[in-house]
């Protein structure tokens, strides 16, 4: 009998089997001279012979490209060597046994690989594993894989969620890396809370119909429950209790594009939206259940939610009908009104291949860059251009998996004009499996 491989370890997601280092990478086009730093990306890459029960349970592997002075100096890939990687006996806490496979950030002088059910794991600038990191003993719960940096203060904002009380705890870490605030948030439920929003005045929390369910067999113990609405909580950053807004249309928001306060004092949240059908179709792919969808995302579309703290009124609007995920913005606009956002466009709803998408929220228009047959881009990371004055003056960095060529490239696209095609293409020494999230870490950080 022919073995049917799970979708999350097949095709674009086929794990690589070795760690490699390559120097002097070939560059087509010209790398912008201000790109001096490291592009790091995280993703699930189980050991050979290991088939996790859920996409999210694969061991973490980091991929990095070092750019400097118009050259691509090196590529490295390394597993994050946590106890989870080999399943070896471990005497530490459960919080330390992390796949560390979702994101990687740099804050307070440390590179941190993140997975939301556990503590961060620190790695070096060359991607070697240092160990679990708890902010000097001040973090005693898990940390979300989607922290936000306040551009005005340099503070890192994040949360911890749990299936057991307290369900939600909010943290603030100063620019030097010290926890300066820890607050239990009232009113949250035991829901899967992957991301959140941050405005200048509020922290925006997401309570969804996907809640803790010990009967879920995949090892990720959450499942959609009818009758539970989408709830969005606004916590004043100045202090006070959260206000929870309930929406009639049940939905899941996995990733947030941005949140901000508009000129009328209303909080606007933009994000891809999963309804029940698109969530459950995607979950089948993530678990490899019978009848799974052809792609990891089978229907999330770009929406915005508007919440008025003064009146309690809530509204929801569809912004575009493309199937998209992995929203990104110019991070200098985190918490402020922004005109542009970027995303990965999935096949479906008019697209027959993967695209990088740019949304113009002022005009309602979009730009598309098609990557071609057999090619899948990752999340687009925005890097500001030197001397830029406009919001979209910058570059988008993404790693592309090319199945036909069994290869990968790091693309540098113009954030102001996707239709111009790549400014530069860096050839990588192996095909990099499609992954999750990453960061550009400038040498000046």
Is the N-terminal amide bond of 166 cis, ω within 30° of 0? yes
Sequence-distant (≥ 6) Cβ neighbours of residue 290 within 8 angstroms: 284
437 annotated ligand binder = yes
**Cα-based torsion angle of the residue sequence 259, 261, 262, 267 in order, rounded to the nearest 10 degrees:** 70
Closest CA to 418 of 445, 444, 399, 392: 392
Name the DSSP letter for residue 387. Answer: T
146 annotated ligand binder = yes
Which H or E run includes 438? Answer: strand 438-442
255 annotated ligand binder = yes
Using alpha carbons only, how large is the chain's radius of gyration in Å? 21
Sequence-distant (≥ 6) Cβ neighbours of residue 309 within 8 angstroms: 234, 243, 265, 266, 267
Tokens of 350: 């008019």
Full DSSP string of 349-378: TTBSS-EEEEEETTT--EEEEE--TTEEE-
Which H or E run includes 72? Answer: strand 71-79
Tokens of 129: 């594993």
194 annotated ligand binder = yes
Name the 3-class secondary structure at 181: strand
Q: 94 — phi, psi (to 5°)? A: -60, -30
Q: List, as residue ranges, the binding site for Fe cation.
A: 146, 194, 255, 437
Q: List, as residue ranges, the binding site.
A: 146, 194, 255, 437
């Amino acid at each position: 009998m022919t073995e049917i491989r799970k979708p999350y370890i097949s095709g674009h997601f086929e794990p690589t089997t070795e760690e490699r280092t390559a120097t002097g990478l070939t560059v087509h086009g010209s790398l912008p001279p201000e790109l001096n730093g490291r592009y790091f990306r995280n993703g699930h890459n189980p050991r050979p012979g290991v088939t996790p029960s859920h996409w999210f349970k694969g061991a973490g592997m980091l991929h990095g490209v070092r750019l400097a002075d118009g050259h691509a100096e090196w590529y490295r890939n390394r597993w994050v060597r946590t106890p989870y990687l080999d399943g070896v006996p471990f005497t530490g806490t459960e919080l330390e046994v992390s796949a560390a496979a979702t994101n990687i950030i740099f804050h307070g002088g440390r590179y941190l690989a993140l997975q939301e059910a556990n503590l961060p794991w620190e790695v070096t600038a060359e991607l070697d594993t240092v160990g679990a990191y708890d902010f000097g003993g001040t973090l005693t719960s898990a940390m979300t894989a989607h922290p936000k940096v306040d551009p005005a203060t340099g503070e890192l904002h994040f949360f911890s969620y749990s299936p057991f009380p307290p369900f939600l705890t909010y943290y603030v870490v100063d620019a030097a890396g010290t926890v300066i605030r820890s607050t239990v948030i009232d009113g949250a439920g035991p829901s899967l809370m992957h991301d959140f929003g941050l405005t200048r005045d509020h922290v925006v929390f997401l309570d969804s119909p996907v809640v803790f369910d010990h009967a879920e067999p995949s090892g990720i113990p959450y499942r959609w429950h009818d009758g539970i609405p989408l709830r969005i909580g606004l916590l004043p950053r100045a202090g006070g209790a959260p206000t929870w807004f309930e929406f009639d249309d049940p939905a899941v928001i996995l990733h947030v594009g941005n949140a901000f306060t508009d000129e009328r004092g209303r909080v606007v949240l933009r994000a891809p939206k999963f309804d029940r059908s698109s969530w459950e179709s995607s979950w089948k792919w993530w678990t490899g259940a019978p009848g799974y969808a052809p792609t990891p995302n089978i229907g999330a579309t770009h929406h915005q939610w508007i919440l008025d703290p003064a009146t309690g009124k809530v509204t929801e609007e569809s912004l575009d009908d493309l199937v998209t995920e992995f929203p990104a913005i110019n991070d200098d606009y985190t918490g402020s009104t922004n005109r542009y956002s970027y995303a990965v466009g999935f096949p479906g709803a008019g697209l027959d291949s993967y695209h990088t998408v740019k949304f113009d929220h002022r005009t309602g228009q979009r730009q598309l860059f098609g990557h071609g047959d057999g090619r899948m881009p990752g999340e687009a990371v925005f890097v500001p251009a030197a001397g830029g004055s406009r919001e979209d003056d910058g570059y988008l960095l993404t790693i592309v998996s090319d199945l036909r060529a069994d290869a990968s490239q790091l693309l540098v696209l113009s954030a102001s004009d996707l239709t111009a095609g790549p400014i530069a293409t860096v050839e990588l020494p192996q095909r990099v499996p499609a992954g999750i999230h990453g960061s550009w870490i400038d040498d000046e950080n």
